[in-house]
Amino acid sequence: MKITDEIRISDNGFVFNSKTGDSFNINPTGLELTKLIALDSDFDDIKEIFLEKYDLDDLTFENDFYEFCALLKHNQITVQEDPLDFK
Amino acid sequence: MEKMKYEKPGMTKINAGMPSKFGMPVKQKIVAEIDGITVSSLIEEYGSPLFVISETTMRNTYAEAKRAFDTRYPKVQFAWSYKTNYLDAVCSIYHDEGSWAEVVSGFEFEKALANGVDGSRILFNGPDKSKADLIMAIENNACIHIDHFDELYLLIETTREIGLKARVAIRVNLDAGIYPIWDRFGFNYENGDAWNAINRIMLAESLDLIGLHTHIGTYIMVQSAYAIAASKLANLYMAIHRKFDYWLKYIDLGGGFASKNTLKGAYMPGSETCPSFDDYAEAISNALISSEIPHENLPVLFLETGRALIDDAGYLLTTVLANKRLNSGRRSMIIDAGVNLLFTSFWYNLNVYPTRELGHAEESTIYGPLCMNIDVIRDAIVFPQVKTGEQLVIERVGAYNITQSMQFITYRPNVVLIDERGKTHIIRKKESLETFKHVELNPKRS
């Protein structure tokens, strides 16, 4: 899963997709996740970072992470080339 | 080092040119308690989902309605609409406030009698009155509101057979300027059916015509429709006096006052657009007082309002079972209360509120727990992210939901009344397997 080339993300969570013309606001944790995904970080690494930083359990994080990934994909912010790649 | 507070990652699509239609930021209302009792303690004690009825709200709303009419018209009598909510505890509160009973079946009639209502204070409406029902009504001296000619002739026949007189009114349907016209009930005013029925009744020695009744519809958002209906009944009232030199005792304008719920497809919320009791009272009272009827012969005004009296007093407490992201990207959640408990969700956008401050809100769909595609409580509501187990409150469900709730897939929940002293009472028990064992028979296992 990678962030497409047409996506621009500002530091305050504003996301613009020049391909579709859509724009989005991402909340701070969403922005943090998006940035880590953009760096091609591994799920386990991202989880570790979040669990260390936030008052959060691993199952909640996993549930929220995959839901957020589905949102990114749905809004064409990321592409998932391999349908079995859930990262 | 103390860890930071976590907020679920979320994103919102920006729709340029589509601000809030009211031009204001959406402020999420929180309902953490009902009449001073926390939602969490109610669910802990009585389970979830849970219907809660506030006696204080019931009595306050009744007082508001009564004041609106009493200050404008000399003789007003409310009759509690049993079908709106016929739990005994609910009916008893309205009877305690002075309401008569308005029933539409033999079952409701029996319930009213069992609640201690004197038979002469029961208005018997509806198209379904069996001979046995009519005998019960006649013997109890009830006011029978005749719906059609077949019922009129059955009533004449029945009174002859049992040798008792019946006190009757006719239900009149009329064009009050709103559509659809409810012409399936009663006798039509415009085509002369109502006048024909009145003449037939006046000729029947065993029938004592004492009133005129109409019910122009439900959730009527235009108070002027009641003024038109009242004027037409006043015309009939005077016509009867001119022809028979006889004054009827009452005019019954029925119910149909809108509650503050918002109809699906409405642009503005019901709380902003629905007429108040004062608006309805002003329209009806003015129409009657300014009619031809001499002041000293003004009839008693009966009102059978149900929905507007009880809707605000009912709450449904519910718990989030799951969150789900749909294929379309829309967020959805599943709660433990379905459309089988919330019949009014088919035509209202019911208000659903969290019980505490929550984070990021986005447009969501709220599904009930039934394994049925139609089980949708709200198809589009801006709602904060919630976790499994989060408790929510659905407001304004006091009217029709309990009487029309259906046992389906799972048991129906407890109904709890919070009395005026803040004490809770179960007024209808949650169903269990025993409930069904009690009424089911299995010839294969006898």
- pLDDT at residue A86 is higher than 60: no
Amino acid found at B119: G
Quote the tokens at residue B310.
């009880």
Rounded Cα–Cα distance for residues B234 and B232 (Å): 5
Instruction: Report helix, strand or coil for B1.
Output: coil
Contact residues, chain A, for B12 at CB < 8 Å = 24-25
Q: Is B363 on the interface with A (CB under 8 A)?
A: no
Q: Which two tokens stand for residue B216?
A: 């122009």
The total number of structural domains that make up chain A? 1
Taking contacts as CB-CB distances below 8 angstroms, the residues of chain A near B10 are: 26-27, 29-30, 68, 71
B27 touches chain A (CB under 8 A): no
Query: Could you give the C-alpha distances from B108 to B5, B65, B122, B184, B189, in angstroms and in order?
Result: 55, 24, 10, 21, 28
Residues of A in contact with B7 (CB under 8 A): 27-29
Does any CB of chain A come closer than 8 Å to the CB of residue B9? yes
Q: Is residue B239 classed as helix, strand or coil in its secondary structure?
A: helix
Contact B120/B141 with Cβ under 8 angstroms? yes
What is the domain extent for residue A7?
2-79
pLDDT in tens, A6-50: 899 999 999 999 988 899 999 999 999 999 988 888 899 999 999
Q: How confident is the model at residue B26 (pLDDT cuts 50, 70, 90)?
A: low
In a domain, A86, yes or no: no
Least Cα separation, residue B323 to chain A (angstroms): 10
Q: Within a domain: residue A39?
A: yes
B295 interfaces chain A, CB cutoff of 8 Å: no
Secondary structure class of A83 (helix, strand, coil): coil
- Give the residue among B90, B123, B118 at the shortest CA–CA distance from B105: B123
Contact A25 B3 (CB under 8 A): no
Q: Give residue A87's pLDDT band: very low, low, confident or very high (50, 70, 90).
A: very low
What are the tokens at B274? Answer: 């629905």
User: What digits encode the pLDDT tens for the residues B54-77?
Assistant: 999 999 999 999 999 999 999 999
Residue B35 structure tokens: 């009449």
**What pLDDT score was predicted for residue B88?**
98
pLDDT tens digit sequence for B377-412: 999 999 988 889 999 999 999 999 999 999 999 999
* Residue A84 within any structural domain of the chain: no
Determine what percent of chain B is predicted with pLDDT higher than 70: 97
Q: Number of Cβ pairs closer than 8 Å across A and B?
A: 69
Q: What is the ipTM of this complex?
A: 0.93
Tokens read off for B53:
């009825």
Cis peptide before B269 (omega within 30 of 0): no
Does pLDDT of B355 surpass 90? yes
- Amino acid (1-letter code) at residue B242: R
B6/A29 Cβ within 8 A: yes
pLDDT at A80 over 80: no
Residue A44, in any domain of the structure:
yes
Whether B18 contacts chain A with CB within 8 A: no
Question: Helix/strand/coil (H, E, C) string of B13-47?
Answer: ECCCCCCCCCCCCCCCCCCCEECCEEHHHHHHHHC
- What is the distance in angstroms between the Cα of A16 and the nearest Cα belonging to chain B? 10
- What would the pLDDT profile of B161-187 be if each residue is shown by its tens digit? 999 999 999 999 999 998 888 889 999
The alpha carbon of residue A6 is apart from the nearest alpha carbon of chain B, in Å, by 16
- Most A CBs within 10 A among B2, B5, B7, B11, hence the mutation to make, goes to B11
Whether residue B13 and residue A23 make contact (CB cut-off 8 A), yes or no, is yes
Closest CA to A68 of B108, B96, B385, B215: B385
Mutation target among B3, B6, B18, B323 for the A interface, most CBs of A within 10 A: B6
The confidence score (pLDDT) of residue B223 equals: 94
* Residue A83 clears pLDDT 70, i.e. is over it: no
Write down all domains in chain B, each with its CATH number in brackets.
Answer: 33-52+313-431 (2.40.37.10), 55-311 (3.20.20.10)
pLDDT, averaged across chain B: 94
User: Is there a contact between A30 and B11 if contact means CB atoms under 8 Å apart?
Assistant: yes
Closest CA to A63 of B202, B379, B372, B9: B9
Long-range contacts of A41-49 (CB under 8 A, 24+ apart): A42/A87, A43/A87
By CA distance, what is B361's nearest residue in A? A27
Chain A CB contacts of B328 under 8 Å are 74
**A28 SS3 class:** helix
Q: What is the pLDDT of residue B212?
A: 97
Which amino acid type is present at position A40? D
Query: What burial letters (b/e) apply to B57-88, b meaning 16+ CB within 10 Å?
Result: bbbebbeebbebbeebbeebbbbbbbbbbbbe
What pLDDT score was predicted for residue B163?
A: 96
Q: Which residue has the tokens 């407890």?
A: B414
Neighbours of B406 (CB within 10 A): 11
Residue A87 maps to a domain: no
Residue pair B66/B309 in contact (Cβ under 8 Å)? The answer is no
Residues of B in contact with A70 (CB under 8 A): 325, 329
Question: How confident is residue B19, by pLDDT bands cut at 50, 70 and 90?
Answer: low
| Terminal-to-terminal C-alpha distance of chain A | 6
Residue that the structure tokens 């009839």 belong to: B299
**Helix, strand, coil abundance in chain A, percent, nearest 5:** 45, 20, 35
| Mutant choice from A33, A64, A66, A69 vs B, greatest count of B C-beta within 10 A | A64
Residues of A in contact with B6 (CB under 8 A): 29, 50, 54-56, 60
Higher pLDDT, residue B122 or B384? B122
Q: How many CB atoms sit inside 10 A of residue B133's CB?
A: 22
User: CB of B138 within 8 A of CB of B159?
Assistant: yes
Mean pLDDT, residues A59-84 taken together:
85
User: Residues of A with CB below 8 A from B362's CB?
Assistant: none
Q: List the alpha helices (DSSP H) in B163-267.
A: 193-203, 224-244
Of A23, A56, A68, the CB nearest to B6: A56
Please determine, for residue B22, whether its predicted confidence score (pLDDT) is greater than 60.
Answer: no
How confident is residue B231, by pLDDT bands cut at 50, 70 and 90?
very high
Q: Which residues of A touch B8 (CB under 8 A)?
A: 29, 64
Q: Do B3 and A22 touch (CB under 8 A)?
A: no
Residues in contact with B86: Cβ distance below 8 Å, sequence separation at least 6, in sequence order: B108, B111, B403
Among B337, B323, B335, B319, CA closest to B397: B337
Q: What percent of chain B has pLDDT over 90?
A: 84
Q: What is the pLDDT of residues B358-371, one digit of tens each?
A: 877 888 999 999 99
Cβ atoms B310, B399 nearer than 8 A: yes
For A27, the closest of B10, B329, B387 (CB atoms) is: B10
Inside any domain, residue A29: yes
pLDDT above 70 (res B102): yes
A85 within domain boundaries: no
From residue B106, alpha-carbon distances to A71, B88, B123 in Å are 56, 16, 12
DSSP secondary structure code for residue B345 in this structure: G
Section B287-309 average pLDDT:
96
Q: Does B12 touch chain A (CB under 8 A)?
A: yes
Angstrom distance (rounded) from CA B182 to CA B174: 8
Beta bridge partners of B318: B392
